Amino acid sequence: MIPATFGASDYLTMRIGLVIEYDGTDLHGSQLQVRDRTVQGEIEGVLPTVFGKPLRLSMASRTDAGVHGTGQVGAFNAETDLEDTEIRDALNHYLPDDVAIVCAGRVGDNFNPRRDAVSREYRYTFKDRPSRSPFNRYRTAHVRHRLDERVMDEAATHFNGEHDFAAFAGPATPSDAITVRRVEHTAVSRDGDEVSFDIRGNAFLHQQVRRMVGALVRVGRKKMDYEQFQALIDRAERGCAKDLAPARGLCLTKVNYPGADGTGLPRAARD
């Protein structure tokens, strides 16, 4: 039986990193909101039960309502002598079924999940068959027409490198925001009737990946050629990439840090 509270005021304050997994279907994104359920809100809601007082969680990436995560990273400060596995198990005991802590561990006192990240990885998954899939309806987007993953894979390479991705910026991107981002890797692959788009970059704008995917689908359905696709990237004008892929197909799979170990947390900053 897990005790209601582990906190004790005479323990040293330590910074604790978390790798977080969540099904975003019924969540209104990752960041805290006043009225709606979010990943941050659910975790902050159980921290007082485990550590004895309210604590603030910072997170690596902002994901929209309906977007999933298997490798989101967060961090908070707490006074505790709990072991890493005890922190993980205690939080999971109180968290709802759609949010879980994959691992927990002590990180450096100055660790900032957002600022210290060197890259983020996402995967978008389609089910391209005539009938929709009830079993995969929460994690894949349905496309009735078969996609050509080979031409999509070739088109996706046009994203690689540093570009002004203003054309793919969503409405929540501030008008004065810098829209230049660096994409390090892209790949489109098929496994049966599922087509996946993987991307790794230093950071992403609001809805950027979903709008990239929307453009790739047009290429995969032969409704846009390579020249038109490249022109869309080069134009770098807000509102040009109008096709927005559904949130349910997108998943934040990993956040990368210098010196991270197999858990995904920066080992070099730990005791």
At residue 215 the predicted structure's pLDDT band, cuts being 50, 70 and 90, is very high
User: For residues 82, 8, 60 and 173, what is the CA-based torsion angle, rounded to 10 degrees?
Assistant: 160
Q: What's the rounded Cα separation, in Å, for the pair 260 and 81? A: 23
- Which of 116, 142, 169 delimits the end of a domain? 116
Q: Are 112 and 129 in the same domain?
A: no
Strand 99-107 versus strand 161-164 pairing type? unpaired
What is the model's pLDDT at position 198?
Answer: 98
Check whether residue 133 and residue 88 sit in a common domain.
no
- Give 53-103 pLDDT, tens digit per residue: 999 999 999 999 999 999 999 999 999 989 999 999 999 999 999 999 999
What pTM, to 2 d.p., does this model score?
A: 0.92
Instruction: Measure the CA angle with vertex 24, ends 19 and 28; round to 5°.
Output: 110
Q: Residue 269: its pLDDT value, please?
A: 41
Phi, psi of 168 (to 5 degrees): -105, 10
pLDDT at site 165: 97
pLDDT at 5 over 70: no
Same domain (yes/no): 145, 246: yes
Confidence of residue 13 (pLDDT cuts 50, 70, 90): confident
pLDDT on residue 267: 61
Choosing from 116, 140, 168, the residue where a domain stops is 116
Beta-sheet strands, E only, within the chain: 13-22, 58-59, 68-79, 99-107, 119-128, 141-143, 161-164, 180-191, 194-201, 250-256
Q: What percent of the chain lies above the pLDDT cut of 70?
A: 94
Q: Are residues 143 and 240 in the same domain?
A: yes
172 shares a domain with 57: no
Distance of CA 233 to the CA centre of its chain: 23
> Active-site positions?
64
pLDDT score of 12 = 79
> Residue 87 is part of which domain span?
13-116
Residue 260 lies in a domain: no
What is the average pLDDT score of the chain?
A: 93
Partnered with residue 164 across adjacent β-strands are: 180
Cβ atoms of 166 and 206 closer than 8 Å: no
pLDDT at residue number 34: 85
Domain containing residue 129: CATH number? 3.30.70.660
Residue 268 lies in a domain: no
| Residue 259, domain member (yes or no) | no
> Residue 268 has what pLDDT?
40
Structure tokens at 232: 């869309």
**What's the rounded mean pLDDT across residues 144-148?**
94
**For the chain, how many structural domains are there in total?**
2
Angle (nearest 5°) at CA 106 between 100 and 108: 125
Stretch 235-259: mean pLDDT: 95
- What lies within 8 Å, CB to CB, of 69 at 6+ separation is 20, 21, 22, 24, 30, 39, 63, 251, 252, 253
Q: pLDDT tens across 194-207, in order?
A: 999 999 999 999 99
Mean pLDDT of 135-156: 95
Position 124 pLDDT exceeds 70: yes
Residue 35 makes CB contacts below 8 A (sequence gap 6+) with none
Contact 248, 90 (CB under 8 A): no
User: Would residue 7 count as lying in a domain?
Assistant: no
pLDDT of residue 270: 41
Average pLDDT, integer, range 143-163: 96
The yes-or-no verdict on residue 7 having pLDDT over 50 is: no
Q: Between helices 226-235 and 208-220, what is the axis angle to 10°?
A: 160
In a domain, 262, yes or no: no
Tell me what percent of the residues of the chain surpass a pLDDT of 90. 87
Q: Mean pLDDT throughout 155-175? A: 96
Higher pLDDT, 54 or 1: 54
- pLDDT of 6 higher than 60: no
Confidence of residue 262 (pLDDT cuts 50, 70, 90): confident
22 shares its domain with 49: yes
When pLDDT is averaged across residues 247-259 and rounded to a whole number, the result is 96
Among candidate residues 44, 106, 103, the one with its CA nearest the CA of residue 81: 106
In terms of residues, how long is the chain?
Answer: 271
In a domain, 263, yes or no: no
Burial 14-23 (b: 16+ CB within 10 A, else e): bbbbbbbbbb
The answer to whether residue 194 sits within a structural domain is yes
Is residue 261 domain-resident? no
